[in-house]
Amino acid sequence: MTGVDTSLLEDYKDYLYIERRVSPATVAVYAAEANRYLLYLREKKAEVDTVLSTTIMEFLVHRSIHDHVAQRTQSRNISALRSFHLFLMDSGIRPDNPVDLLEMPKTPLVLPTSVSSNAVDDLLAVIDVSDPSGLGVRDRAMFELTYSCGLRVSEVCSLTMADYREEERILHVIGKGDKERWVPVGDYAAEALQTYIGNVRPLLMGAHIHEKTLFLGRRGKPLTRALVWKRFKEYCGMAGIDAKVHTLRHSFASHLLRGGADLRTVQELLGHSDIRTTQIYTHADTEDLLQVYRRFHPDGEPDSV
């Protein structure tokens, strides 16, 4: 990559941070895609200020074939390129956005996977809270809270002691896009947290007496997402359950809706900006109902008559 391209990418990242105010994770993804795009244009001897939409389409096809890019990722890549060319327009490098001439691929509806409340109980039950290290107590509290409040892994790892109001049993959560929400904490999670905070966290904290993060590792430092995923996977294996940490969040939403909670309330509890994101859980429950109907109702399987 030339110095000009490097400078352009740095300006683009500043644009995303300052002008568009997107998250660091999105900046990294969009900048990486812009980097691949610029390398491809250089290989094709094309310039960003004159490139045609046909060349951009060729780049996307190249990515799809050679990098095995999934349809959902392809949609994100188009958004990244549109953002990059919008930056070029705002910078006066070119007057139009050729990506606008491309048609966005339709993203298939991917229904969230949830597990039953019994499966959640089985999963939490395999965690050994008698472990002398205290890690079992920590993990029990962590995953009880994840399910009780419908948390993302990143939200769990970023929780501080000040975020939990024990007397009110309410949790302050900062989600995607720094969107804040308050979520009630259930009885089981509150009890597990009380044990962890009172008996285990001080031991894990050690010399790090000023550490504010709620969930700590062996050396008193904040947990990483990778470690949380690893611990959860181990417990799933012990319980014989096929799930990911995010499955607890999906299950939280599905169980609320099945219990009669209204969609707007669930949207607020999950921290969704758009209610259409929450509505996908109603599709998932409909699919579950259809499967039960087809399995047990005499009219469910016409071919079986």
Residue from 76, 208, 246, 258 carrying the catalytic annotation: 246
- Name the residue type at position 92: G
94 in active site? no
Asked whether the CA dihedral 283, 286, 288, 290 is positive or negative, the reply is negative
Please state the separation of Cα 135 from the chain's center in Å: 25
Residue from 76, 176, 208, 244 carrying the catalytic annotation: 176
> 246: which 2 tokens?
């995010």
169 in active site? no
249 in active site? yes
Residue from 85, 249, 250, 255 carrying the catalytic annotation: 249
Alpha-carbon distances, residue 224 vs 86, 110, 218, 235, 293 (angstroms)? 35, 27, 12, 17, 42
246 in active site? yes
- Fill in the DSSP letter of residue 222: B
Strand partners, 182: 172
Q: What is the dihedral of CA 21, 22, 24, 27, to 10 degrees?
A: -110
Residue from 152, 231, 250, 255 carrying the catalytic annotation: 152
CA-wise closest residue to 281 among 240, 303, 238, 249: 249
255 in active site? no
Asked whether the CA dihedral 281, 286, 292, 294 is positive or negative, the reply is negative
Residue from 85, 231, 255, 272 carrying the catalytic annotation: 272
Mapped onto helix, strand or coil, the DSSP state of residue 293 is helix
68 in active site? no
Q: Which residues are catalytic?
A: 152, 176, 246, 249, 272, 281
